[in-house]
Structure 1
Amino acid sequence: MIGKIPKPGKSFGGCIEYNVLKKEAAILYADGVRIDKTAHIIADFNMQRKMNPGLGQAVGHISLSWSPEDKDRLNDEKMISIAKEYLQKMKIQDTQLLIVKHKDRAHPHIHIVYNRVNNEGKTIPDSFQHLKNIKISKELTLKHGMHIGQGKEKVNRQQLKGIDKLKYELYDTIKSVSQKVTSMAELKQELLKQGIGMQFKYKSGTLEKQGISFSKGDYKFKGSEIDRSLSYGRLNKQIEQQAQQQINTQPKSLADQLRQAISEQQGKPQTTYLKNEPQTNYLQEALRLSEQLLSITPEPEPDDLYKRKRKKQEQEKYHGPHI
């Protein structure tokens, strides 16, 4: 099961008309509102919101979706039961509620409309809803034995909207770029070219990094909120491994090769050659000579003008100046 939570809205009219008037839509459950007419549903929601006129965005909206593989295991009663359990865990209680089933997708899904002004006129908070949604959706999926998706790669991007669409865009871009860099600084620079900001969270009073977040436009998400693989710890470990792999695959210099040969030879029984000298001595001498050669800066070759001038001076020295 996957829960999607758009931003709270201002208009019950637009939200309810979208959900109720959609082709083949069916109201499964209602609490605190009349359902005989769409106009009555809207009027009842708006009547309660007047108890807290200072709350502009009073429209709560959540969709719950299941895998097509769960279709045979779900009926209306089962979806209502799971929805109520979900709302209880999300602490969305004691308020007006409407649950509508849609059939415009291959997978089973319902829409929940609720009033953020509860029955006592108090505000139902929406802080940290997205994080709680992820945790609770997974918990209920496991509890009810529903199908678990096999990763973000199989999600149909074309059907995504709003925040979910942005999260997947960030996920795809960050995953692609992170596989080509060898440092966090390089990752930050490359993401900036794509219009994505990257910020670190530091341990209080220190320069020790312990978290990472990404931003685009007006939105900002923790790396782990986008995907667990994008947490600071996992992302940093991946990039460090890539940097080490690049070092290991770089061709070694002659001096490095000779050092390796000496190291390997010192771990073996010494074999004598001319004058009973060990082979390691020859390798060490070769290393010394190679380092000397690498440190020598060759003198520049004299240019043609210098050569002609020098030749003229030599001729004048032995034959006198040319008249």
Structure 2
Amino acid sequence: MIGKIPKPGKSFGGCIEYNVLKKEAAILYADGVRIDKTAHIIDDFNMQRKMNPGLGQAVGHISLSWSPEDKERLNDEKMVSIAKEYLQRMKIQDTQLLIVKHKDRAHPHIHIVYNRVNNEGKTIPDSFQHLKNIKISKELTLKYGMHIGQDKEKVNRPQLKGIDKLKYELYDTTKAVSQKVTSMAELKQELLKQGIGMRFKYKSGTLEKQGISFSKGDYKFKGSEIDRSLSYGRLSKQIEQQAQQKQAEEQRPTLAQQLREVINRGPVKEQSGHHSVIDLFGRIPIITPEPEPDPYRRKKRKGQGNDQDQSQGISR
């Protein structure tokens, strides 16, 4: 299961019309609003938001999507049940709610519209929602045995929008650049050329690095939030290995150097009175000696029969 959270909106009218009036859309669940008419749904949401007029962006909107492999295992009741548990874990409670199912994609997915002004007129905070969404979506996927999403390399990039699109841009660029550098400083410099900022997180009161983040425009993400392979520990280990490999390659003699060394040595060496020919690369070929004859093996005399013939002669 994957949860997507766009920025909070200002207009309940536009959000609800998009979700409810879409072809083959079906309202699965509602709490605190009338669903006989679209206009009534909008009016009810707007009525409650007036309890907190200072909150400009009162429209909460979340979509939950499952893999096509889960289609046969999901019905309307199951999706609503998972959505309620998701909202509870996200601390989105005691407020107006609308859950709508769409059928415009091959995979099962629903849209949740909620009022950020709760039933008591208080604001439902949206801080750290994206981080909580990733964690909770994964936990529920594992809990209900749903299909795990595709690898990042297989995701259809052109269909991505908003935060997800930006995260994949950061992932693709950072992965590509990180494979060509030999130090974190070089990585930072190369990413800056691509318009991506990179900052370290230090252990309190020390210069010990313990985290890394990447930014573009107004958005900043921890490396591990984009992908586990971009955490500080894994990224620094990868780059360190690349630096060691490059150093080893630079120290390895070239073919021309090996040839000059062989020529300077001369073509023949003597060891223990034996002549051993040295090949082009200075290696002494291994010569396997012929096996010595077995001294205990009895030689058959000329004209001598086998034991069976001798025993037959004696019996006669």
TM-score of the superposition, structure 1-length normalised?
Answer: 0.77
Q: Where do 5+ consecutive residues of structure 1 fail to align?
A: 259-270, 275-323
Q: 2:133, 2:225 → 1: CA distance?
A: 11
What's 1:279 paired with?
none
* Residue type of the alignment partner of 1:189: Q
What's 1:115 paired with?
115
1:221 equivalenced with 2:193 (yes/no): no
What's 2:296 paired with?
none
The answer to which structure has the higher helix fraction is 1
1:121-132 alignment, distance < 5 Å: 121-132=121-132
- Give the deviation of 1:251 after TM superposition: 4.1
Q: Tell me the alpha carbon deviations over residues 164-202 of structure 1, each in whole angstroms, 9 at most, x when there is no partner.
A: 111111111111111111111111111111111111111
* Residue type of the alignment partner of 1:127: S
SS in 2 for 1:250: helix
- Give the deviation of 1:29 after TM superposition: 0.5
- Give the deviation of 1:128 after TM superposition: 1.1
* Residue type of the alignment partner of 1:146: M
* Residue type of the alignment partner of 1:228: R
Change (3 A) 1:100 1:187: same
- Give the deviation of 1:273 after TM superposition: 8.1
What's 2:158 paired with?
158
1:70 equivalenced with 2:70 (yes/no): yes
- Give the deviation of 1:150 after TM superposition: 3.5
What's 1:103 paired with?
103
- Give the deviation of 1:229 after TM superposition: 1.1
What's 2:60 paired with?
60
What's 1:79 paired with?
79
Q: Tell me the alpha carbon deviations over residues 248-277 of structure 1, each in whole angstroms, 9 at most, x when there is no partner.
A: 2224369xx99xxxxxxxxxxxx9989xxx
What's 1:311 paired with?
none
Q: 1:272, 1:123 → 2: CA distance?
A: 90
Q: 1:273, 1:128 → 2: CA distance?
A: 78
What's 1:210 paired with?
210
> What is the RMSD computed on CA atoms of the aligned residues?
1.9
What's 1:280 paired with?
none
* Residue type of the alignment partner of 1:245: Q
SS in 1 for 2:131: helix
What's 1:319 paired with?
none
What's 2:37 paired with?
37
Q: 2:27, 2:188 → 1: CA distance?
A: 48
SS in 2 for 1:9: coil
Count of residue pairs the alignment pairs up = 261
1:158-307 alignment, distance < 5 Å: 158-252=158-252
Q: 2:272, 2:80 → 1: CA distance?
A: 88
* Residue type of the alignment partner of 2:175: K
- Between the aligned residues of both structures, percent identity stands at 90
Q: 1:233, 1:27 → 2: CA distance?
A: 46
Q: 1:113, 1:132 → 2: CA distance?
A: 18
Q: Tell me the alpha carbon deviations over residues 40-72 of structure 1, each in whole angstroms, 9 at most, x when there is no partner.
A: 111111110111111111111100000000000
* Residue type of the alignment partner of 1:64: L
Q: 1:99, 1:68 → 2: CA distance?
A: 20
SS in 2 for 1:61: strand
* Residue type of the alignment partner of 2:184: M
1:22 equivalenced with 2:22 (yes/no): yes
